[in-house]
Amino acid sequence: MPIRQPVPTIIRADDFHDKAFSFPVESIVGPEWMIGNLVVNAPEGYLLTTSLTTEPKQTQDFPYKKHPNGQWIAEGTVTLLFTGDRPTSGKIVIHNSLDEKIVLTVDTSANTSLTISEKPELTVSDSVLTIMQSSADRPGFGLLTIAQTNANTPVSISTDSPDYFLLASDSRPTFGPSILVVPSATGTYVHIRYFSGKRGRQKGHLRIEAPYTSETVILEGQKMSLLPSLRTGVVGTKPVSDTNTPARKWWITGLTVGLLAALAVVSYTFKCQLFPSLCQDRTASQVTTSDEPPRLKPASTTDTLANSELDKVIRSTISSSVPAPQVEGRPVSQSAIAPVNKVPQQMSTANVVNEPIRVESTKTPPKVKSRQTVDNQVKVPPKRRQDSATADEESELEKALNPPD
């Protein structure tokens, strides 16, 4: 069978839900007849939508597609919508390129009951309404929308917690524990006022009653405090602490210390470039210090005494070493001159004593050659040549240097 017969073949008024009725369609043809589409026509007063398009039209088409088994199939779902207040009788025609046709009948004459579209409905915008009171001396407000269709009856709205929640509407702006309104199809606003002198969350119920149905809305009010410690959380829950806060603080502290240390090192390294005045003052102070002449230490008492003793030794040596005038006609013997060579040794010893002695210094003064010291400090007068001397005459120097045995 090229066109599958939808079930049921007769559509009644009770089959419509929210002004709509849906049914499947399917048509199978061979390769030679796959030209064209499967077409569905709606009766007068109806429109059609399909699984392929949501645009309502009087006629809808389903193209044929080749399946893996080699057949060409046109299939989908059709939704029938009536445009008036209630469905009317009519015929739905389904046909394909083979001129095959199926007719579905819409029969509403035998139905005396109301369709769903004629039943009154009550719609409420929220099932739970939360109102926040941000100030201790000012109430909080909430808004609820109520609408009804296919009815024009009054609706009673009341609350079981008038100590916290009060109601008002546009037609009745005075707040009270209950109001009576006639909701329209587009919606009517109900204003709810919440005020509480207590901390925490307060709950209540809003009862909406109509002749054909009733609804209940849960009301919740919460008073917010300016201090976080005064805020009350949801019952049965605990605030989640931020476990990353200590680690984050240590990380920030370490980074700050590192930056400060790096800044200090850079400032010290490039202080002359950053603060030229510091380096100029240091340079000036060094130049001023180097220009001062070296100061000599005053001679100590020990040095003075040593020098005086040395002078006495030198003077006595010189006085004893001066040769006496020789007698004329007596030659000077080599033995008389030889003992004079002992004078440098005595003077060398005196010269070592003459070196400056400093009490505070522990360094040993360098040794000076005795012959150079004697030549520099004591000049021995040159010997005078005697014109004549007798061999048997003895000078005063020889007598002093060669004492008798």
Predicted pLDDT at 229: 44
SS3 334: helix
Predicted pLDDT at 204: 92
The label of the residue with tokens 């033995």 reads 335
Answer for the pair 16, 87: CB distance below 8 angstroms, yes or no.
yes
- Cα–chain center distance at 128: 39
Answer whether residue 370 shows pLDDT above 80. no
Is the bond preceding 162 in cis, omega lying within 30 degrees of 0? no
Average pLDDT estimate for 307-325? 57
DSSP letters for 226-281: SSGGG----TT--PPP-TTHHHHHHHHHHHHHHHHHHHHHHHHHTHHHH-HHHHHH
Least confident of 312-316, 380-384, 398-402: 380-384
Residue 281 confidence class, pLDDT cut points 50, 70, 90: low
pLDDT tens across 140-155, in order?
999 999 999 888 889 9
Residue 189 confidence class, pLDDT cut points 50, 70, 90: very high
Answer whether residue 369 shows pLDDT above 60. no
- Cα–chain center distance at 238: 27
Predicted pLDDT at 159: 94
CA distance 11 to 328: 185
Residue 261 confidence class, pLDDT cut points 50, 70, 90: very high
Average pLDDT estimate for 270-279? 78
Predicted pLDDT at 234: 42
Average pLDDT estimate for 51-72? 85
Between residues 188 and 293, the one the model is more confident about: 188
**Averaged confidence pLDDT in the chain:** 73
Predicted pLDDT at 27: 84
Predicted pLDDT at 233: 45
Answer whether residue 379 shows pLDDT above 70. no
CA distance 81 to 56: 8
Between residues 250 and 353, the one the model is more confident about: 250
H/E segment holding residue 62: strand 59-63
CA distance 238 to 241: 9
pLDDT tens across 97-140, in order?
777 888 888 888 754 444 444 678 899 999 999 999 888 888 99
Answer whether residue 83 shows pLDDT above 70. yes
What residues are paired with 168 via a beta bridge?
191
Average pLDDT estimate for 379-403? 59
pTM here?
0.32
Answer for the pair 24, 5: CB distance below 8 angstroms, yes or no.
no
Between residues 17 and 287, the one the model is more confident about: 17
- Dihedral (CA of 306, 308, 309, 311) sign: positive
Distances (CA, A) of 97 to 36, 58, 244: 6, 19, 72
Order of strands across the sheet with 165-169? 121-124, 140-149, 188-194, 165-169
Least confident of 210-214, 217-221, 242-246, 396-400: 242-246
Predicted pLDDT at 383: 53
Residue 209 confidence class, pLDDT cut points 50, 70, 90: very high
Answer whether residue 221 shows pLDDT above 80. yes
Range from 89-93, 243-247, 317-321 that averages highest in pLDDT: 89-93
What residues are paired with 40 via a beta bridge?
60, 94
User: Can you read off the two tokens belonging to residue 262?
Assistant: 């790096």
Q: Which domains does the chain have, with CATH numbers?
A: 10-116 (2.60.40), 121-230 (2.60.40.1510)
